[in-house]
Amino acid sequence: MNLPALLNKTPLHDWHISHGGRMVDFAGWALPIQYTSIIDEHNAIRNAVGIADISHMGRLRFEGPGAAVFLAELLTRRVADMALGQIRYSLITNEQGGIIDDVLVGYYHDEFGQPFYVLVVNASNRAKVVEWIRRHLPPERAERPGHEVIFTDVTRLWAMFAVQGPRSVELLQPLVDVDLALMKYYRGAQARILHPAAQRQGGIISRTGYTGEDGFELSVGAGIAPGVWQAIIDLGRPLGLVPAGLGARDTLRLEAGMPLYGHELSESINPFQAGLGYACHLTGYDFPGRDALRRIAAEPTDIARVGLALEGKRPARQGCAVYAGDRKIGEVTSGSYSPTLGTSIAMAYVPPEFAAVGTELVVDIRGHREPARVAALPFYRRDKK
């Protein structure tokens, strides 16, 4: 596939090419959709461990005495009460309550004990989010003593890897100086990378991911990224590690019932329709869209995000119509064959009266009517024992 020459490239771009990555244009970045097969890469992460390059994700850093308040007035989730190393899933909403992006915000200290926050945003929304932040960071804020905020887009300065799967602790523990077994989910820490490839540099490691499996996300400097990536590959081979592309990440997140921006999330969808009301703290700090979300929360929702389990293996793709009898009631937002479950699954928005688990529906897949039923989300839940 011939890709535009001006696509953004991650620090691992040459490695992907030399190891057979099938490259595609994803949100303006050249990224591998797969190396071998999507199913093999998917199953490796479910059963052992895999590594994916997610350096395209936006990384935005905030520091200064006003950073916590600024983020509290930007995000739907509380920030000021976060503990050191804590990470929260949050949203950025517009004034009407529509979702501009879904993000992770983490709270850390640098080597001098100074606090800073890292916001991880979707690659497709990075430019939009940066512009939104700049609009809400007026110059006069910096002129108020004690309210200074230093905002830096560090996306290109860092690389980011997702190491996911039940053997991820076993793989990564020899490489970092923090106890990964004791690290709770949605927690992170600055860590020293214990490998010559790291050149005595450190990084940020967090117990987060987008696969439904246990795992970690590791951010390191772009300059040392290829060496650290190869060190993980080499250590992981005896454990069954494989590199994974965008395709496996998509089937994994779909099985885990995780929404994807541009599919389940958009500025025309509000958090309560998407089932993300838990990420909206509507008291305390004001943020764009808070008043609209208060009104929306007080009213019955008109549509709801649901899971669909199809009877056959034919995948339902985004845009396929969903019917109750002869009445069209919605459209599929994401759909795929599920390697773990051995059947086709999808997510869709339907009116609440059709959202109960077990409701029988029909999905039109290229003119074929395929029986489906509403299924509980997530489709797959890992054993946490």
Mean pLDDT score, 344-365: 98
Q: Is the pLDDT of residue 339 over 60?
A: yes
Q: Is the pLDDT of residue 372 over 70?
A: yes
Cis peptide before 65 (omega within 30 of 0): no
Candidates 303, 306, 300, 301; CA nearest to 361 is 306
How far is C-alpha 126 from the geometric centre of its chain's CA atoms? 13
pLDDT in tens, 58-82: 999 999 999 999 999 999 999 989 9
Helix axes 246-255, 38-47, angle to 10 degrees: 60
Cα–Cα distance, 12 to 29 (Å, whole number): 12
Q: What is the pLDDT of residue 141?
A: 47
Q: What is the pLDDT of residue 6?
A: 85
Beta strand 8-9 with 29-34: parallel, antiparallel or unpaired?
parallel
pLDDT in tens, 83-135: 999 999 999 999 999 999 999 999 999 888 899 999 999 999 999 999 999 99
Q: What is the dihedral of CA 37, 42, 43, 48, to 10 degrees?
A: 120
pLDDT in tens, 296-307: 999 999 999 999
Nearest 5 degrees, angle CA 346-CA 352-CA 358? 55
pLDDT in tens, 247-291: 999 999 999 999 999 999 999 999 999 999 999 999 999 999 999
Question: Mean pLDDT of all residues in the chain?
Answer: 95
Q: What are phi and psi of 24, to 5 degrees?
A: -135, 165
How far is C-alpha 247 from the geometric centre of its chain's CA atoms? 14
pTM score over 0.85: yes
168: left (phi over 0), alpha (psi -120 to 50) or beta: alpha
